Amino acid sequence: MKFVIKNNKVETLNKSVRFPVPLIKEIEEVMMENDISFTRFVVEACQFVLMYMKKQNSEEDDQIQ
């Protein structure tokens, strides 16, 4: 079997974000329960919110028409 290195890289940027301590504690609990990194949690949470917001905007547009 041939060893192949997959190029699944996505362009990224570093951002510094301040979180309230109680929120960090909640996120860390979820991270431990799901064996995921802080970065993965934040990225997936942001993607979820963006998808939700787009859906909400689409539904609002449908109601206006």
Q: What is the pLDDT of residues 7-34, one digit of tens each?
A: 778 889 999 999 999 999 999 999 999 9
Amino acid at 43: V
Q: From CA 42, how far away is CA 17, in angstroms rounded?
A: 11
The number of folded domains in the chain is 1
Give a yes or no: residue 36 inside a domain: yes
Q: Please calculate the CA angle 17-18-23 and round it to the nearest 5 degrees.
A: 115
Give a yes or no: residue 16 inside a domain: no
Give a yes or no: residue 14 inside a domain: no
Give a yes or no: residue 43 inside a domain: yes
**pLDDT at site 65:** 65
Give a yes or no: residue 59 inside a domain: yes
The tokens describing 37, both together, are 């990194």
Give a yes or no: residue 1 inside a domain: no
Using CA atoms of 27, 28, 30, 33 in order, give the dihedral in degrees to the nearest 10: 180
* Domain residue limits at 35: 21-64
Cβ(23)–Cβ(41) below 8 Å: no
